[in-house]
Amino acid sequence: MTSANPHEELATPSRYRITTLLFNPFHYVAGGKALLIGLAVILFIGWLGSLKNIHFNGVLSLHVLHLTFPLWAFLAEGVIAWVSMAVLLLIAGKIFSKTSFRAIDVFGTQALARWPSLFTGLLLFVSADALMRLGDRKVQQIRHPEAAIDSSVMDIVVVVLVVIVGISLVCWMVYLMYKGYSVSCNIKGGRAIGTFIVALILAELLAQGGFQGLMAVTQQHITPPAMTASQTAAPAMESLQQSGEQFVDLLVREDFDAAVAQFHPVMKKGLSEPALRKAWRDLMTQCGPYQKQLGSRTATQGDYRVAFVTCQFERATVDVKIVFDANDQITGLWFQ
């Protein structure tokens, strides 16, 4: 952002303009002062991130991860990202600038350019729990596609808002990084844009490498998402599927004693071994002899997990619906 008369600033002291402060603060401040302010911001958001496992692990990228670092590593993440970008822009400036410039200005402006990440950090701080929950559920859905794992609508809304605002803040920061480079190295136009983009890509790769190095040094790794309380109290969906299939195998072998042994006591009263035997034989009378299992799937209904085992009989296909409670006991059985 420049004044309407570019010569106005040559002779008289310049007054601060709000738009220039927001979008090109380097017009007024660079060098050591910018470095101090920027470094303070970088270290602050590193500390903030340490409180909720928010990792500013790249020049632009940031994540909420199941990855606990010591505090110094969180602080180092931001420093690595800043230094990666500053060094590459310094090299670009040395190659492409027609005039001399100071390295302190490059490092200072790049540090100060990261100040919008203060808002990004605060945004993630207040929404970290929602982000973590949604991420964990998505991972569970990928691992167990047959399971019906729902995400909270509020979590989805929060994440969408965070993404929209976050992208805006990142765009602002990238613009500031570019202006810092342009001002400190006195490079303008297409040359400035092209070299900046190349430096940004390389710096992101460099910073990611630094992050991997931090993980190696701290001997930490990203842990799988922790199961929620309701999930840890229940068998994994895979074993639930197996439990359902094994129960049907008991029915097919007519080992009704073993089948009833898995019932909840209340269920035993409602469906005894003779009653189960009769129900199974009535099913085969109606649908023909049992032939094979076609497949199985699981679902959750409140605190209960349900296994559906699809069976092929001679004259029909039947879903055997088996409901398990939190203690792996069968509380419901339907032939559908």
What is the C-alpha to C-alpha distance for residues 334 and 109, in angstroms, rounded to an integer? Answer: 69
Q: Is 15 in the site for other proteins (CB under 8 A)?
A: yes
Closest CB 88 distance from other proteins, rounded Å: 18
Stretch that binds other proteins, among 10-18, 167-175, 192-200, 299-307 (CB under 8 A): 10-18
> Which residue of 39, 132, 183, 214 would you call a contact of other proteins, by CB under 8 A?
183
Instruction: Count residues near other proteins (CB under 8 A).
Output: 25
Distance (Å) of CA 196 to CA 81, 91, 92, 331 = 15, 11, 8, 64
Q: Is 259 in the site for other proteins (CB under 8 A)?
A: no
Closest CA to 86 of 66, 102, 63, 69: 102
Q: Which of residues 108-147 bind other proteins (CB under 8 A)?
A: 109
**CB under 8 Å to 12, separation ≥6 — which residues?**
none
Q: Which of residues 81-110 bind other proteins (CB under 8 A)?
A: 99, 101-102, 105, 109
Closest CB 40 distance from other proteins, rounded Å: 18
Helix axes 153-185 and 71-96, enclosed angle (nearest 10)? 40
> Which residue of 1, 3, 9, 145 would you call a contact of other proteins, by CB under 8 A?
9
Closest CA to 197 of 47, 63, 59, 324: 59
Cβ proximity to other proteins, 28 vs 47, nearer residue: 28
Decide if 218 contacts 122 (C-beta within 8 A): no
Decide if 103 contacts 83 (C-beta within 8 A): no
CA angle (71 as vertex; 70, 73 as ends), nearest 5:
70
Cβ proximity to other proteins, 13 vs 265, nearer residue: 13
Instruction: Name the pairing type of β-strands 54-55 and 63-64.
Output: antiparallel
Which residue is listed with tokens 């004693």? Answer: 257
Q: Is 184 in the site for other proteins (CB under 8 A)?
A: yes
Binding marks (x or -) toward other proteins, 31..70, rule CB under 8 A?
A: x--x------------------------------------
Q: Is 11 in the site for other proteins (CB under 8 A)?
A: yes
Closest CB 186 distance from other proteins, rounded Å: 5
Cβ proximity to other proteins, 7 vs 292, nearer residue: 7
Q: Which residues bind other proteins (CB under 8 A)?
A: 7-16, 26-31, 34, 99, 101-102, 105, 109, 183-184, 186
